[in-house]
Each structure stands twice: as structure tokens, then as C-alpha cells.
Amino acid sequence: MNRSRTRLLAIPYIIWVAGFTVIPLIFIITKAVTDENGMLTASNLFAIFDPLHRKALMMSLLLAFISTVICIIIAYPVAIILRGSHIRKKNIILFVLILPMWMNFILRILAMQMLISNNGIVNHILETLELPPLKLINTPQAIVIGMVYDYLPYMMLPILNSVLSISEDVIEAAKDLGSDKMHVLLHIILPLSLTGVGSGITMVFVPSMTEFVIANILGGGKIQLLGNIIEQEFTVTMNWNLGSGLSVSLMAFVLITSFVFGRNNEDAAAGISI
């Protein structure tokens, strides 16, 4: 292949990246470091640490952290169980796990609201069983349920990918050398699947950290996450400089997370593609 000539094929894409990825980032950063008169200021960037915003930041970090941990706790055993089952069944179960992602996400969250709201379906069932009703809706717990529900497949796919791709030979070798089941799990499967867990953490933590729709629907607007505050700066308060400042600070948090946990996007992409 004439590499110097095929390289030119990337030109339209390079122009696109420059025009629609790099320039917009420059714009948002410019807005973030200036005030409404165009003067340089750092106050919008540090506004994330204001008492009001700090509360939202802590809440976002906390809920994203809890959701991510719950997703790992739910997803990891699924991968281990599927590894032990037969290959044909594995395809079907995998298919079943991925299918919900094709139903509109806002509708799914609304359905979750119908299930857990005070006069919702779950409470109706509890009532007929003469059990005390749950007060879930408009609490942080409701938002966590929504986030786990929505992002679980994103945790499941990379973990499944990494656990299922561990060669059976490695495990056989460990068993031959005297490992019991627990030892194999902790010293073979777990270390070899950590990249998948890392990808999963980024794929769940980043969106739940920046979420505002789930918080609006299941939190009833009572719980403010960082995403809600940024959204309001753009649609209600119309302070675009502050909104951009908060976004850029948020981006810093996101970048740190991706840097710490790493993210193999090709793995993730291959996992989601059909």
C-alpha cells in the first residue's frame, strides 16, 4: 500500500475533527475563562467549589460512585456464571442483556418511575401483600436505581468480554498446579479481567457523574446534581459563561477518572457492536 498516498484519505476526517471536536472545545474553554464582558476570569472554573455547587458536586460524585460499585457487584457474578455455562446459551443470554439498550432511554426511566413512585406498581403489589409501602421516589436512592438500571449493560459488556476471553488453558494449568476454585477466581480470573472492569467503571462513572435526565425524572427536581445545574445555566438562567466554567471543571473530573481507570475503547466498541 502506498502509505503516503493513502494517508491523504484521512484529510476529510481531520478537517471534521478540527471543525467539530477541537474548535468547539476551544470555544467552551474560552467561554469558561471569560466573563460576560469577555474579560479573563477564573471564577467560573472555580465556581464548582461554591457552597451551592459543591453540594451538587459531592452529591454527583457520591451517587456516581455508589452506582458504579453496585453495577460492578451485579455485573461481575453474571460474567462468572456465564463463563461456567455452555457457549450457545451464552449468546442468547448476552443478547437478552443487550436488548434493553434499544428501547428509548427516557421512556425506560419513565417506566422505572411508574414502578417505584409512591402510588406506583411496586407499592400496589406491596399493598396487596399487606406490606408497608416504599418511599423511594424523589430520593437519592431512586436516582441510584435509575442509574444502575440504565448503565448496567455498559458495565456488563466489558466485564463479560474480558472474563469470557480468558483462555480455558490458563485455568486448566492453574488447576493442574493445585489451585482450587477460589484461588482460580482470585488469582487468575480477577487479575485478567481488571481491564474490563476498568473500562466498565469509566463507562458507568462518567455518564452517571454528568447525568441530569435521570435526576430530573426520578429525583423530582429535588436533588440537584452537577448536570442539572449546568443544564439550568444554559436553559433557564442563561449564564453561559458560568455553565461553560462548570462544564470544563466537570470535564477535568471526567478526564481524571478515565486516566485513573483507563478505558479500552476498542474493547468497549466491540462489546456494544452487534
Partner 1 sequence: MKITGVLGKIYIALVMFFLYAPIAVLIVLSFNASRSRVIWGGFTMKWYTALLDSRAIMTALGTTVALALLSALIASVLGLFGAIGIYSMRRRNYRIMLFATNIPLVNADIVTGIALLLWFVRFLPLGFSSVLLAHVTFNIPYVILCVLPKLRDMDMFQYEAALDLGAGEPYAFVHILIPQILPGVLSGFLMAVTMSMDDFVITYFTKGPGVNTLSTLIYGEIKKGIKPEMYALSTILFFIVLILLILVNLPYDRMFTRTRRVR
Of the two residues 10 and 52, which places its CB atom closer to partner 1 in the complex? 10
- Which residues in the 214-233 window bind partner 1 by CB under 8 A? 216-217, 227, 230-231
Q: Please select the residue that binds partner 1; options are 61, 69, 72, 115, rule is CB under 8 A.
A: 115
Please report, as a single letter, which amino acid is at residue 194.
Answer: L
Q: How far is the CB of 122 from partner 1 (least distance, A)?
A: 9
Q: Please select the residue that binds partner 1; options are 58, 62, 111, 256, rule is CB under 8 A.
A: 111
Strand partners, 34: 40
H helix intervals, 49-166 = 51-84, 87-98, 105-116, 121-128, 140-164
> 439550568: which residue's cell?
232
Hey, what's the cell of 198? 476498568
Q: Please select the residue that binds partner 1; options are 61, 72, 126, 251, rule is CB under 8 A.
A: 251
Q: Please select the residue that binds partner 1; options are 69, 72, 164, 194, rule is CB under 8 A.
A: 164
Query: According to the binding rule CB under 8 A, does residue 61 interact with partner 1?
Result: no
Q: How far is the CB of 130 from partner 1 (least distance, A)?
A: 18
Which of these, 48, 40, 36, lies nearest to 230 by C-alpha position?
48
8 A C-beta contact, residue 165 and residue 195: no
Q: How far apart are CA 246 and CA 21, in angstroms?
A: 19
Q: Please select the residue that binds partner 1; options are 55, 124, 183, 187, rule is CB under 8 A.
A: 124
Q: How far apart are CA 188 and CA 182, in angstroms?
A: 10
Q: How far apart are CA 133 and CA 165, in angstroms?
A: 44
- How many residues bind partner 1 (CB under 8 A)? The answer is 105
Interface segment toward partner 1; rule CB under 8 A; list 34-42, 50-58, 134-142, 250-258 = 250-258
